[in-house]
Structure 1
Amino acid sequence: MDTLIFLIVLTVAVILYSVFMYFRQKKILKTLTEEEFIAGYRKAQLIDVREPNEFAGGHILGARNIPLTQLKTRLKEIRPDKPVYLYCQSGSRSGRAAQLLYKKGYKDLNHLQGGFKKWGGKVKAK
């Protein structure tokens, strides 16, 4: 019985945490459609937060590769006074990247709805 109660409490805690993070991310990060993304990314810092092998397989033309795993150590490469446009494969890593950037003082954070897998614009592959 104690195990069942523990599992229920743990499940509720995980659900509450997930809901909290979802709404927090919505507050700090603007999700853009492909059209909105295309309209603004040339005037912003375009960051691909995927790993280098994913980036080499194809990326949005003009993007810089700063993987989420290296973001903390490479923050100096991103200006806090300019808009930041983030994307990853599906949208989850760019959301985590935005949370980290927000904690470090970045305010104008945007990401591509659906990530690179939904991208229909220009792509460059190595």
Structure 2
Amino acid sequence: MNFLLDNWHLVLAALTSGGLLLWPLVTRSGGAHRVSVAEAVMLINRERAVVIDVSEPAEFAAGHAINARNIPLAGLETAKGLPTNKTLPLVVMCPSGARASRAVATLHKRGHEKATSVIGGLAAWREAQLPIEKSAT
């Protein structure tokens, strides 16, 4: 007991470092549904995940993942273009990944519990040299 009292600063440092090590696990399980580009490709190939791009139409036309459906974030709550089978995994993308993370929360509210966003968005997809297509505007 004297050791703990005499070395309270070491105990505090140990507890702090342990908490910082556990923080990513706590925040990820708390609803931050995100996957890497490689995990997204596995979901698409193995589980027939549907790619939803929440970019604005002009951004989508400039480049998007092949076979992605464009449903802008602003219209996601009332969108009709989502799969009716809510058990299908959804891989959500946008140029950077920021809007996609917000879109996942909306999709979960709509019953799509397997919705995940791609870490880094389309920029990470391009960096991984995965196929991109452009649409006519």
- TM-score between both structures, scaled by the size of structure 1: 0.73
Q: Gaps spanning 5+ residues in structure 2: where? A: 1-25
| Distance in structure 2 (CA, Å) of the matches to 1:29 and 1:77 | 21
RMSD between aligned residues: 2.0
Amino acid at match of 2:131: K
Q: Which has the higher contact order (CA 8 A, sep 6+)?
A: 1
Offset at 1:24? 6.9
- The number of residue pairs the alignment matches comes to 104
Encode CA deviations 1:1-31: one digit per residue, 9 max, x unaligned: xxxxxxxxxxxxxxxxxxxxxx777633432
Query: Computing the radius of gyration over CA atoms, which structure comes out larger, 1 or 2?
Result: 2
SS in structure 2 at match of 1:46: strand
CA shift, 1:84, in A, is 0.8
Matched, 1:111 2:117: yes
Indicate which of 104, 113, 131 corresponds to 1:122: 131
Q: Which runs of 4+ in 1 moved over 2 A?
A: 23-30, 75-79
How big is the shift at 1:45? Answer: 1.3
Match of 2:41 among 38, 43, 62: 38
Change (3 A) 1:76 1:37: closer
TM-score (norm 2): 0.68
Structure 1, unmatched stretches of 5+, are 1-22
